[in-house]
Amino acid sequence: MTALIDVEGELIPRATARFPDAVVRDELDNNLLDELPTIQFLQVPGGGYDGAKLARMLFDMNVYAPTRASAFLLARDAHEWIMHVVRGSTTSTLVVGMVRCLALPAGLPYENKALRRVGGTYEIYCHPA
């Protein structure tokens, strides 16, 4: 059995339940200003596979909000959720072991100055359930 997991597909529904006042998605669209705050999860190339079962996946978490303060507040909450709730959790399709933050959430540039972006990078060690 392959260890290839759709990390976005696993995190988005769980984060939607945890953050009901935010839009949680993988891809952004032209309506972003009307859908704030938004939490975005993007699996990025990298990680690894032990050849048997365990995978190490990398993903970015970005928060888009109308102000820098609100973006940092939601990013902090999402960071805590990733590090303390996702770590060690199990779903019907995934077992999560260790989760590490590779780059703490920080302010990031974004071309639309009407909103603010804060994002960080994480790695998740997991295998299919």
pLDDT, tens only, 64-85:
999 999 999 999 999 999 999 9
Task: Say if 1 falls within a structural domain.
Answer: no
Q: Is the pLDDT of residue 63 over 70?
A: yes
By residue range, what is the domain housing residue 88? 7-128
Q: Is the pLDDT of residue 3 over 80?
A: no
pTM, full prediction: 0.93
Domain count, the chain: 1
CATH code assigned at 13: 3.30.2000.30
Higher pLDDT, 50 or 89: 89
Task: Say if 2 falls within a structural domain.
Answer: no
pLDDT, tens only, 85-116:
999 999 888 899 999 999 999 999 999 989 99
| SS3 per-residue string spanning the chain | CCCCCCHHHHHHHHHHHHCCCCEEECCCCCCHHHCCCEEEEEEEEEEEECCCCCEEEEEEEEEEECCHHHHHHHHHHHHHHHHHHHCCCECCCEEEEEEEEEEEEEEECCCCCCCEEEEEEEEEEEEEC
